[in-house]
Structure 1
Amino acid sequence: MSQQRFTRRGTTKFFFLKDIVSKELIPIRPELGGTNGTDLSPAISDIEGFAVENTPIDTPDLATEFTGNIPGEDKADNSSLTFYEDKVDNALETLLAKGVEGYVVILRKGDIPASKSMDIFPVRVGSRSSTYTTASEPAKFKVSFNVTGKPVQDVAVPAAV
């Protein structure tokens, strides 16, 4: 099997959307930009979570010493984004204040219209806090997200307008 491998840096895009009109939670192109959507990618320093895991349920029985299992509930990992802090502008801090609800939209393979590589996570900001260090590195802040609903995964990136 031949693959065209790539790196996430410079390819993957992260957006924060305040709202998605579609009941299926699949954004259209105008929702990714403008006043509804913010491209977070240029300010992201680190990413954690944004993955769905299944918690299996054990199914022991008397016939064997082996305990099998069946699929259980799906759950999103604890998710967070770490951003570079802007010395003058606080737009990101305002956008991602504690309690804010919206959607983290990830274009895993980049902004390639029709590519089935878009994931949408309904979220609420659980916390936002500056990170402190004496090391010689840029100032950053971390935003922790609670995933509030079932993510939509592997949907087509909307066509360019």
Structure 2
Amino acid sequence: MVATPIAATSRYIPPGITHYYWVPSIANYQSPTRAELNAGTDLTGEISAVSGFATSSDQQDTPDLGSRFVGKIPGRITADDSSVTMYASSNSADARTLMPRDAAGFIAIFPEGDIPGQKMDIFAVKVTSVPKSRDVENPASMTFQYAITRVPAENVTIP
């Protein structure tokens, strides 16, 4: 007998589907309320690029004298350096006022959209810097760089 195949997915591309919110306060980020998410700001329409917002786990060798084989165990979990690049406004009325350097809050990522019952990821963050692009040919932008301050809440059910 052969193994049961995995169910086919409904594939998509992120533009027009994925949403990013800046949420200044969540009491329990492992289980946010709808009111807390609604109090946030949807950044999606001003984002030109995103980097990071992923976790990985180190692997630790576990050698022993009973074998030449060296096994491994999961080690520490880390988060990638993370940033969101957003467009700048010609009158300074943009995300700089929402997320200045040292602002603490949460980035809520809705990969398949803000649809109750589906999954989202929440990253507790602190803005470390907001460098501005000095490119003379492309739209003005800023890259919000974040330190991820706690273990991310991954695959949380959207309320």
TM over 0.5: yes
Is 1:48–1:79's contact at 8 Å kept on the other side of the alignment? yes
Q: CA deviation at 1:24?
A: 4.9
Identity in percent: 36
Change (3 A) 1:129 1:24: closer
Q: CA deviation at 1:27?
A: 2.1
Change (3 A) 1:68 1:76: same
Deviations 1:124-154 (A, max 9, x none): 00111101223x3211110110000011111
Q: Which amino acid aligns with 1:14?
A: Y
Q: Which has the larger radius of gyration?
A: 2
Q: CA deviation at 1:85?
A: 0.9
CA distance in 2, matches of 1:24, 1:49: 19
CA distance in 2, matches of 1:59, 1:125: 37
1:120 equivalent in structure 2: 122
2:3 equivalent in structure 1: none
CA distance in 2, matches of 1:138, 1:38: 22
Q: For residue 118 of structure 1, give the secondary structure of its aligned residue in structure 2.
A: strand
Using structure 1 for the length normalisation, give the TM-score. 0.88
CA distance in 2, matches of 1:141, 1:42: 14
Q: For residue 130 of structure 1, give the secondary structure of its aligned residue in structure 2.
A: coil
How many residues in Structure 1 have an aligned counterpart in Structure 2? 152
2:8 equivalent in structure 1: 2
Give the 5 Å matches for 1:2-151: 2-21=8-27, 23-33=28-38, 36-62=39-65, 63-64=67-68, 66-115=69-118, 117-134=119-136, 136-151=137-152
Q: Which amino acid aligns with 1:140?
A: S
RMSD across aligned C-alpha pairs, in angstroms? Answer: 1.4
Q: CA deviation at 1:45?
A: 0.6
Using structure 2 for the length normalisation, give the TM-score. 0.89
Is 1:57–1:71's contact at 8 Å kept on the other side of the alignment? yes
Is 1:26–1:120's contact at 8 Å kept on the other side of the alignment? no
Change (3 A) 1:15 1:110: same
CA distance in 1, matches of 2:31, 2:130: 26
Unaligned runs of 5+ in 2: 1-6
Unaligned runs of 5+ in 1: none
